[in-house]
Amino acid sequence: MTLDALAQRPLLVYGIGNIGRQDDGLGPLLVDRLAALGVPAGVTLESGYQLAPEDALLLSTHAAVVFVDATAAADARRPYALSVVEPASEVAFTTHVLSPGALLTLCRRLYGAAPAAFALALPARGFEVNAPLSDDAAAGLGRAVQDLHAALAAPHGTLDD
């Protein structure tokens, strides 16, 4: 999949996860590494433990968003997988944790905004407290940072997986 939407500005890269739980912190770690490398004007980097209704306002101010998160799916594509995120209506136990699709729906309903949205899923295997990244997760993270940084700097903003 080619993400030509990476050329859209303003663009938000949002890392989701808990850096205190080994591979679960891949999203925020990717954002931290991109920040250290530097990103072009018009690119916003943000991270959080989980998506919340308050994030709809942040999404509403961007033309496109890339959600970055760890996945424990046994069949997860390596080094990462890209997919389009569509708005979704969901009923959940709590309204304090939302999926990217549910957050897009909330953004549309509250602010009339519909940013193009994508998910970058990084395979994760370990979720121990205060443990280092697993070797597979570290390798996937390194590749994703390299590819995403290059895509953000490219004139057409393409990222191929």
**pLDDT tens-digit series, residues 12-36:** 999 999 999 999 999 999 999 999 9
Instruction: Return the residue matching tokens 């080094």.
Output: 79
Which domains does the chain carry? 4-152 (3.40.50.1450)
pLDDT attached to residue 129: 96
The pLDDT, as a whole number, for residue 160 is 60
Residue type, 57: L
Q: What is the structure's pLDDT at 158?
A: 62
Give the predicted TM-score (pTM) of the model. 0.92
CB atoms within 10 A of CB 129: 9
Q: How far is the C-alpha of 32 from the C-alpha of 28, rounded, in Å?
A: 6
**pLDDT tens figures, 32-47:** 999 999 999 999 999 9
Q: Which of 2-6, 122-126, 130-134 has the lowest mean pLDDT?
A: 2-6
Q: What does R_g of the chain's alpha carbons equal in angstroms?
A: 15
DSSP structure string for 42-111: TEEEEEESS--TTHHHHHHT-SEEEEEEEE--TT--SS-EEEE--------S-SSS--HHHHHHHHHHHH
- Would you say 153 and 11 are in contact if contact means Cβ atoms under 8 Å apart? no
Res. 1: pLDDT tops 60: no
pLDDT in tens, 52-91: 999 999 999 999 999 999 999 888 888 999 999 999 876 5
Choice between 6 and 128, residue whose per-residue pLDDT is larger: 128
Q: Can you tell me the mean pLDDT for 45-50?
A: 96
Q: What percent of the chain has pLDDT over 90?
A: 78
Angle, CA 102 vertex, CA 149 and CA 133 arms, to 5°: 45
Between 25 and 8, residue with greater pLDDT = 25
Q: How far apart are the first and last CA of the chain?
A: 6
